């Protein structure tokens, strides 16, 4: 699960939004999907 953050690496533009998505939204989606 740690290595899945490769697509979540900030590019520079909107890096904050990507970080927020990967930290807060992505775990919730995974949790909803598996559990």
User: What per-residue confidence (pLDDT) applies to 7?
Assistant: 56
- pLDDT, position 30: 84
How far apart are alpha carbons 28 and 22 in whole angstroms? Answer: 10
| DSSP result, the chain | --GGGGGG---STTHHHHHHIIIIIHHHHHHHHH-
Give the Cβ contact number of residue 26 at 10 Å.
17
pLDDT in tens, the chain (35 residues): 444 445 555 555 567 777 777 788 888 888 888 86
Residue 16's pLDDT is what? 77
pTM value is 0.39
pLDDT at 12: 56
């Amino acid at each position: 699960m740690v290595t899945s953050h490769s697509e979540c690496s900030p590019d520079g533009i909107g890096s904050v939004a990507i970080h927020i998505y990967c930290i807060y939204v992505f775990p919730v989606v995974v949790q909803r999907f598996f559990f």
